């Protein structure tokens, strides 16, 4: 089994348990680099897959919460190198497959080949690159593939049917269904026609579909879970961390 | 993505560039360019690209555009022989007067073209970002002219240093949205505008202000700004008796420079020199000398040369001129540098201030601080090239810079007194 | 000196006026004009008059002047069809875009012409007065361009309300002399400049900024500003398909108005309307509606219509626009009013503010507060003349007025809140 | 004898006494309209001819002192009408011939015919109109002539010889020789080539020549007196009044 295949498996396992797959997102090293390892472990106890955000100076697709966490993490010296170095000693102690969310430029600066090998070494099974559309992704995909890591594609309610098919078949791990046409952290709640959209995406996707953007409450997870295999919880979790609350407790009540 | 070209590739790319074959289908200028955007924006960009393909070359659009340029923008702008400056410098200096264009800079050429396009595409409203405020004012004016509401994203730092332009945007009926995030300057304003665009890709037209960003913007902006170089080339022949030996333009995102240079690329005898902001020094964060000191990377939608640290985080910049204060540069400039067709140099804050004052006093032209960088470099060049013919892209007027100039004058006086 | 004409006199004067025979040898436009100056200034005026007679009509001077207008000022300025404004007003509105001229107003046409003349006359330095600051900026720029030192007299009240222009003059290398005497506005600045001139009539060239004062200034300024009307007339034929039914221009001293109207005087089908500052009301001191409410008298060198009390003391004026805030008016306008060839109306401060805002939002053009008066009157006229073709002299841009506009906006908001 | 001829006669009488003719100038009604009559009488005791300034809102040919006095007098309600009305009851009590200095516009507003008749009634023998060059003076000259009043012409060091002859022959009362090419009230002292200039003017003029502008001290009066028949003292006297000092005493020490 390739590392990226572990992701879908973890989601499906949750579904088999009668649960919606839960994919918590945290900005790595936020709010405090010193507690990164322990809070990652706590979160990975509850999440089926954990998404680690690599901080970047220009998080153009993100809302205020993730921007704030990203800038703070950079201030605190968090880099891609640092994150991998933190993950090294955790090998074996984290069961949940890890994925990384990073804008393209930090990955470019790191180097694709090194990225893929460090990913394999540290249990990072796939990448989400929000500013990398499919058309520009061949080069990095090839590099990741060589080490068994994958690139997770995103689709949105505005994605036309043809393109949806293309992205679904190109994705690795799961297919990321953006629930709203907006940025992360919107507080406007989930859109009314969500069910139809997620059903459509799920019908097309050979992989489990995880829905993300705007998921904050157990009820959100629930309604998403009726039409998708998993739910990604980002800004809401980062806010929990920001307030110094217990992330595991927050996540548990979402399950 | 590699930024180093072998000789064959380079000569083929130069040919293609001159022949107008770039960017290619995927929005590439050789290795540079492309489209690095969130999936949420893909439909918006495809709509835009289809619109450009359909309308931009059409006679109807071109005629509408040319009419606005002539009757509203005031084109052709003058070509001025700077007699007294020429005498001082020992060269023959000609100025392409974009400062005389409506709203006071070359930015309007692009803004009115895109505003017309926005109307054609059926947008309900327009958003734009601005640094120096010139593009914001130009967008506000262009949107008023075509009858579309306009919101301009502007970093709060820029709002402060370009206060007169904020007032002008308000007067022209635009909303100015203060951007508090990121570096609070142009880069953050672009991010904020992109975030807004995502919320309604079909209803919003994003009117980008320089030859940067994801494809098709670098192409679109170049096409709309090329009127500068096309006019200047003709005017040099008519008024100066021949083409220049060298052309200078300041480079922020690179729109006025590409507008001036593009129609001159094929004139291989003309040396082309872009001038970036040297700020206060060579250190990281002290300047905005992207091409002079940057490395390849992806910023705000395209692969180009950018200012970044070893981790790929974008470097904050400094320039006395808000319009040059940007960590990226248009991908076509990155290619032209790689090909050696255009060279890129810097001028410091102090050199720009001095050049601005010299032009004021010799020619009665108060140029923009951005533009002043081009003069500073041209003056240096003159020392080694006596008698040569220089064309300078006078990209805008300096009225907007009065508060900054006052601040610097006060500083200088204080130093002198101390 | 009598200001009432019988029918025969009037028709002969109209003919002479159209034929370009005015002013006569003594500087008279019918009863108006002349030269009322201290004996100390007589040699200076004679020198100037001889200079004008010798140089102004010469091919050499005309060519030099035309070249500066084209290459430095940026002429011809555009003629803009105001599509959205036309739709609102129900008329067809065309704008002659003097705001696009270098330094932002028609004033530069005169300033560069006189600066060239000053150089020809061998002046060692130039002095000028300014109200709105536009003429001061234009003079500073023109003097820099021809290489003459320049001092600008400006009332301290005007320095305050047109602060951006004071900075611009300084940048352009001019000295700004704050005038504390008299009404501390334009009128006092003219007096102060004349006083200075007396100290060195041969070494100083006095660069007067409007079509006012002693002969030969009203003539000289009209000749230099007529380029506005000459271009506009041709452009209306080329772009609008025919001459306008009416032309509007704001009237301070009257230079942009005479520049626009003079070449149209012979087109008897064109109604000509000058618009003065109605200020806050009809009371003495509440406006600057010289022709509309004044009486004949002598002010600052010429016999014209002026605002004065029963004792012949000059009335202080009020206008929101510094450039219209003057108690006199050019003598040629006094004649054209007496002949009925041009009618003169007023627009209030509030009407001007509203018109300025309407133009901003419909056409993306931020016009000068002075100019806004012409729009207000044209809008009123449109109500009774649907479908007609209107030409408006857009004499300048409004950037300089931002501080005033901010002050008025604040006042209005305070009122609204109260 | 026409009224305007009284002026030259008064100057010549002084010269016959071995004195330079003294022509004090005051802005009428300044600093205090209430003391106008008495200070005029005191000044007329010392001066051979007295020049009354009519305040005007635009004193373009005057320096700061006279501008200031002019604006203050207007503020205090001083007008041409008021001045004539003040002079009426003084008839017979003032021996020195009076002249008036006024810019043209107040005279125009008053009306030339009425001006001439009020001048005759009040002992005003001539007018100095600083913004009325000879070329524009025919109309007012004719009106004044009809009542025996005259228009005093000014010449300056820059006046060409031809024009000097013209102005000298056109003048009435005396010929006003401006000593400097400047405005009134300059403190720069008298020019070095003054003697030659005044000799030249005196040689041409059929009337006595009075020199004005910049005369402040007994020594100034003396040096002017060697080459001209009279001296006009303006700004310096106005400053004396402004300081509340005794004008007659000041004038006496000039004689
Ligand atoms: C007058 C002027 N020149 C130059 C620039 C730099 O932009 P670009 O490099 O796109 O021409 C600006 C940007 O605001 C500007 O206002
Ligand atoms: C833009 C503008 N328009 C009009 C005027 C009024 O002057 P004039 O009546 O001489 O044209 C001024 C004077 O400063 C001005 O700046």
Mutation test of the interface with chain C: which of D56, D58, D160, choosing the one with the most C Cβ atoms within 10 A?
D58
Ligand 2 pocket mutation pick from C129, C152, C255, C304 by most atoms within 8 angstroms of CB:
C255
pLDDT beyond 70 at C410? no
Are A81 and B311 in contact (CB < 8 Å)?
Answer: yes
Measured at the CA of D213, the angle between CA D209 and CA D216, to 5 degrees, comes to 105
pLDDT digit string, tens, across residues C284-340: 899 999 999 999 999 999 999 999 999 999 999 999 998 999 999 999 999 999 999
If you average pLDDT over residues B359-379, what whole number do you get?
Answer: 98
* Res D214: pLDDT: 87
pLDDT band at D190 (very low <50, low <70, confident <90, very high): confident
B82 and B38 share one domain: no
Our answer on whether the CB atom of C259 is closer than 6 Å to any ligand 2 atom is no
Q: Is the pLDDT of residue A94 over 60?
A: yes
Put simply, the answer to whether A154 touches B310 (Cβ < 8 Å) is no
Spatial CA neighbour of A248 closest among A116, A96, A65, A68? A96
Band (pLDDT 50/70/90 cuts) for residue B308 is very high
CATH assignment at residue B142: 3.40.50.1100
Q: Which of B191, B194, B311 sits opposite A79 (nearest CB)?
A: B311
* pLDDT over 50 (residue C198): yes
- Which residue's CA is minimally distant from atom 12 of ligand 1? B323
Rounded to the nearest angstrom, the distance between the alpha carbon of B395 and the centre of ligand 1 is: 7
Where are the extended beta strands (E) located within B311-397?
Answer: 342-348, 389-394
Q: What is the mean pLDDT of residues C236-249?
A: 98
Nearest atom in ligand 1 to the alpha carbon of residue B324 is 6
Assess whether pLDDT exceeds 70 at residue A188.
no
pLDDT reading at C9 higher than 80: yes
Q: Which atom of ligand 1 is nearest to the CA of B252?
A: 9
Residue B412 confidence (pLDDT) = 56
For residue B249, is pLDDT > 60? yes
Residue C14: per-residue pLDDT:
97
Query: Looking at residue B199, what is its pLDDT?
Result: 82
Q: Which residues pair with B248 in a beta bridge?
A: B273, B392
Rounded percentage of chain B residues whose pLDDT exceeds 70:
97
Phi (first) and psi of residue B134, to 5 degrees = -65, -45
Nearest to C314 among D57, D63, D160 (CB): D57
C264 lies in the same domain as C330? yes
3-state secondary structure string across chain A: CCHHHHHHHHHHHHHHCCCCEEEEEEECCCCCHHHHHHHHHHHHHHCCCEEEECCCCCCCCCCHHHHHHHHHHHHCCCCHHHHHHHHHHHCCCCCCCEEEECCHHHHHHHCHHHHHHHHHHHCEEEEECCCCCHHHCHHHHHHHHCCCCEECCEECCCCCHHHHHHHHHHCCCCEEEECCCCCCCCCCCCCCCHHHHHHHHHHHCCCCEEEECCCCCHHHHHHHHCCCCEEEECHHHHHHHHCCCCHHHHHHCCC
Q: Does the active-site annotation cover C107?
A: yes
Residue C351 is among the residues annotated as catalytic for this protein: no
Whether B322 contacts B186, CB under 8 Å: yes
Mean pLDDT of C162-185: 92
Domain with B137 in it: 24-69+107-221
**Is C243 in a helix, a strand, or coil?**
coil
Half-sphere exposure of B209 toward its Cβ, with a 13 Å CA cutoff? 32
Contacts of B301 in chain A (CB under 8 A): 131
- Write the pLDDT tens digit of every residue in B143-167: 999 999 999 999 999 998 788 899 9
pLDDT of residue D189 exceeding 70, the answer is no
Could you say which of B17, B64, B120, B129 is catalytic?
B129
Chain C residue numbers with beta carbons less than 8 Å from the beta carbon of D156 are 39-40
Grouping H, G, I as helix, E, B as strand and the rest as coil, residue B180 is: coil
Mean pLDDT across B204-231: 98
Same domain? For B99 and B112 the reply is no
Q: How far apart are CA B107 and CA C22, in angstroms?
A: 45
> Per CB distance under 8 Å, which residues of B are interface residues toward A?
1, 26, 34-40, 42-43, 181-182, 187, 190-191, 194-195, 198-201, 297-301, 306, 308, 310-314
d(CA C272, CA C378): 11
If asked whether residues C364 and C264 sit together in one domain, one would say yes
d(CA B283, nearest CA chain C) in Å: 31
CB contact under 8 A, A56 and B301: no
Q: Which residues line ligand 1 (CB under 6 A)?
A: B 105, 107, 131-132, 134-135, 210, 250-257, 323-324, 368, 370-371, 395-396
Query: Quick one: B36 and B174 in the same domain?
Result: yes
Cβ contact (<8 Å) for C38 and D130?
Answer: yes
Query: Which contiguous run of DSSP H or E holds residue C274?
Result: strand C271-279
- Residue at token pair 């002479």: C16
Residues C272 and C413 in one domain: yes
Residues of C with Cβ-Cβ distance to B167 under 8 angstroms? 402, 405-406
* Chain C nearest-CA residue for B141: C364
Site to probe by mutation for ligand 1, drawn from B99, B395, B402 as the one with most ligand atoms within 8 Å of Cβ, is B395
**Residue B417 banded pLDDT, cuts 50, 70, 90:** very low
pLDDT at B418: 44
- pLDDT grade for C115, boundaries at 50, 70 and 90: very high
Of residues C220, C198, C212, the one with CA closest to residue C41: C198
Is D251 at the interface with chain C, CB within 8 A?
A: no
What's the average model confidence in pLDDT over B301-308? Answer: 98
Alpha-carbon distance of C365 to C368, in angstroms, equals 10
Last residue of a domain, one of C221, C239, C254: C221
Instruction: Out of D9, D17, D48, D62, pick the active-site residue.
Output: D62
Task: Say whether the A–C interface has 3 or more Cβ pairs within 8 Å.
Answer: no
Q: What is the CA radius of gyration of chain A?
A: 16
Entry pTM: 0.95
Residue C134 CB–ligand 2 contact under 6 Å:
yes
Q: Is C354 on the interface with B (CB under 8 A)?
A: no
| Domain endpoint, select from B204, B221, B238 | B221
Average pLDDT over every residue of B111-133: 96
Decide if B393 contacts B257 (C-beta within 8 A).
yes
Going by pLDDT thresholds of 50, 70 and 90, the confidence category of residue B3 is low
**Is C360 found in the same domain as C286?**
yes
B165 Cβ under 8 Å from any chain C Cβ: no
Ligand 2: distance of its center to the CA of C107 in Å?
Answer: 7
DSSP C78: P
Q: How many domains does chain C contain in total?
A: 2
Distance from CA of C244 to the nearest CA of D (A): 40
Q: Give the start-to-end residue ranges of the domains of chain D.
A: 3-13+21-247
Using the mean position of ligand 1's atoms as its centre, give its distance from the Cα of residue B331 in Å.
16
Does residue A189 have a pLDDT over 80? no
Give CA separation, A124 vs A59, A116, A225, C379, in Å: 21, 9, 25, 70
pLDDT band at C185 (very low <50, low <70, confident <90, very high): confident
Read off the pLDDT of residues D9-30 as tens digits, 9 standing for 90 and up. 999 999 999 999 999 999 999 9
Cα gap B365→B248, rounded to integer Å? 17
Closest CA to B228 of B261, B195, B196: B261
D182 Cα: distance to centroid of ligand 1 (angstroms): 50
To test the contact with chain D by mutation, choose from C24, C27, C28, C36 the residue with the greatest count of D C-beta atoms within 10 A, namely C36
* Most ligand 2 atoms within 8 A of CB, residue of C99, C100, C106 to mutate: C106
Decide: C105 in ligand 2 pocket, CB within 6 A: yes
The span from the CA of B194 to the CA of C299, in Å, is 61
Q: What is the mean pLDDT of residues D92-121?
A: 97
Confidence of residue C373 (pLDDT cuts 50, 70, 90): very high
Task: Indicate the helix (H) or strand (E) that contains B7.
Answer: helix B7-18
Which of C139, C255, C319, C395 does the annotation list as catalytic? C395
pLDDT averaged over chain B?
95
Q: What's domain A3-13+21-247's architecture? A: Alpha-Beta Barrel (3.20)
pLDDT, position D182: 62
Taking CA A43 as the corner, what is the angle to CA A37 and CA A47, rounded to the nearest 5 degrees? 140
How much of chain B exceeds pLDDT 90, in percent? Answer: 89
Are residues C244 and C190 part of one domain?
no
pLDDT at B9: 94
- pLDDT tens-digit profile of B17-64? 999 999 999 999 999 999 999 999 999 999 999 999 999 999 999 999
Residue C395 designated active-site: yes
- Asked if B167 lies within 8 A of C142 by C-beta distance, the reply is no
Separation in Å, CA of C155 to nearest CA in chain D: 14
Q: Is B148 an 8 Å CB contact of chain C?
A: no
- Is residue B295 located within the same domain as residue B330? yes
Task: Work out the pLDDT band at C417, boundaries 50, 70, 90.
Answer: very low
- Do B392 and B304 belong together in one domain? yes
Q: What is the ipTM of this complex?
A: 0.94
Residue contact C195–D109, C-beta within 8 A: no
**Beta carbon of C395 within 6 Å of any ligand 2 atom:** yes
Domain-located, residue B17: no
Is there a contact between A67 and B181 (Cβ–Cβ < 8 Å)? yes
Q: Give the residue, by CA position, lying nearest to ligand 1 atom 15.
A: B323
Is D140 part of the contact surface with chain C (CB cutoff 8 Å)? no
Query: Which pLDDT tens digit goes with each residue over C70-105?
Result: 999 999 999 999 999 999 999 999 999 999 999 999
For the Cβ of C252 lying below 6 angstroms from any atom of ligand 2, the answer is yes
Q: Judge if C93 and C129 occupy the same domain.
A: no
Domain final residue, candidates B221, B256, B285? B221
Question: First and final CA of chain A: distance in angstroms?
Answer: 27
């Amino acid at each position: 089994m390739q590392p990226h295949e572990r992701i879908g498996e973890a989601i499906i396992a949750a579904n088999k348990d009668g649960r919606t797959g839960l994919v918590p997102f945290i900005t790595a090293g936020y709010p405090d680099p010193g507690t990164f390892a322990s809070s990652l472990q706590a979160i990975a106890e509850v999440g089926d897959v954990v998404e680690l955000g690599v901080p970047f100076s220009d998080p153009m697709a993100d809302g205020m919460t993730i921007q704030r966490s990203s800038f703070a993490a950079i201030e605190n010296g968090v880099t891609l190198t640092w994150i991998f170095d933190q993950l090294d000693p955790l090998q074996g102690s984290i069961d949940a497959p890890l994925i990384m969310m990073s804008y393209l430029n930090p990955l470019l600066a790191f180097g694709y080949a090194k990225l893929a090998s460090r990913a394999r070494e540290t249990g990072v099974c796939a990448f989400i690159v929000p500013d990398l559309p499919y058309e520009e992704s061949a080069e990095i995909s090839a590099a990741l593939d060589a080490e068994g890591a994958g690139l997770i594609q995103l689709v949105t309610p505005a994605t036309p049917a043809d393109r949806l098919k293309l992205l679904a078949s190109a994705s690795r791990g799961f297919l990321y269904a953006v629930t709203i046409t907006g940025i992360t952290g919107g507080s406007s709640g989930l859109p009314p026609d969500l069910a139809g959209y997620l059903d459509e995406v799920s019908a097309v996707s050979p992989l489990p579909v995880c829905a993300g953007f705007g998921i904050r409450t157990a009820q959100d997870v629930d309604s998403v879970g009726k039409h998708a295999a998993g739910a990604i919880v980002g800004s809401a979790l980062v806010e929990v961390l920001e307030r110094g609350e217990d992330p595991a407790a927050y996540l548990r009540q979402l399950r | 993505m590699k930024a180093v070209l072998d000789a064959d590739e380079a000569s083929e790319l130069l040919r293609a560039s001159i022949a107008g074959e770039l960017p290619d289908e995927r929005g590439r200028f050789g290795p540079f360019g492309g489209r690095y955007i969130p999936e949420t924006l893909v439909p918006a960009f495809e709509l835009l690209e289809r619109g450009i393909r359909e309308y931009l070359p059409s006679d109807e659009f071109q005629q509408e555009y040319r009419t606005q340029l002539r009757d509203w923008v005031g084109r052709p702008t003058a070509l001025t022989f700077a007699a007294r400056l020429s005498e001082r410098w020992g060269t023959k200096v000609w100025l392409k007067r974009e400062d005389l264009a409506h709203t006071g800079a070359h930015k309007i050429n692009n803004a009115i073209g895109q505003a017309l396009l926005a109307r054609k595409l059926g947008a309900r409203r327009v958003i734009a970002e601005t640094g120096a405020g010139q593009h914001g004012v130009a967008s506000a004016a262009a949107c008023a002219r075509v009858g579309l509401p306009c919101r301009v994203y502007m970093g709060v730092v820029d709002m402060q240093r370009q206060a007169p332009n904020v007032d002008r945007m308000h007067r022209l009926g635009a909303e100015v949205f203060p951007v508090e995030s990121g570096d609070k300057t142009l880069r953050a304003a672009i991010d904020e505008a992109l975030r807004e665009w995502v919320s309604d890709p079909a209803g919003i037209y994003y009117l980008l202000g320089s030859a940067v960003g994801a494809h098709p913007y670098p192409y679109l902006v170049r096409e709309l700004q090329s009127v500068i170089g096309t006019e200047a080339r003709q005017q040099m022949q008519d008024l100066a008796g021949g083409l220049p030996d060298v052309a200078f333009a300041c480079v922020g995102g690179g729109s006025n420079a590409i507008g001036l240079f593009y129609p001159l690329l094929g004139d291989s005898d003309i040396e082309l020199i872009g001038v970036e902001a040297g700020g206060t020094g060579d250190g990281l964060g002290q300047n905005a000398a992207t091409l002079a000191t940057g490395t390849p990377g992806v910023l705000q939608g395209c692969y180009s040369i950018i200012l970044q640290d070893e981790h790929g985080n974008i470097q904050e910049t400094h320039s006395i001129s808000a319009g040059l204060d940007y960590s990226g540069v248009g991908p076509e400039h990155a290619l032209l540098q790689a090909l050696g067709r255009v060279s890129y140099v810097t001028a410091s804050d102090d050199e720009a201030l001095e050049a601005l004052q010299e032009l004021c006093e010799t020619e009665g032209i108060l140029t923009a601080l951005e533009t002043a960088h081009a003069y500073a470099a041209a003056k240096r060049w003159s020392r080694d090239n006596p008698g040569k013919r220089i064309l300078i892209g006078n990209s805008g007027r300096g009225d907007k810079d009065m508060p900054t100039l006052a601040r610097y004058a006060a500083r200088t006086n204080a130093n002198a007194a101390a």
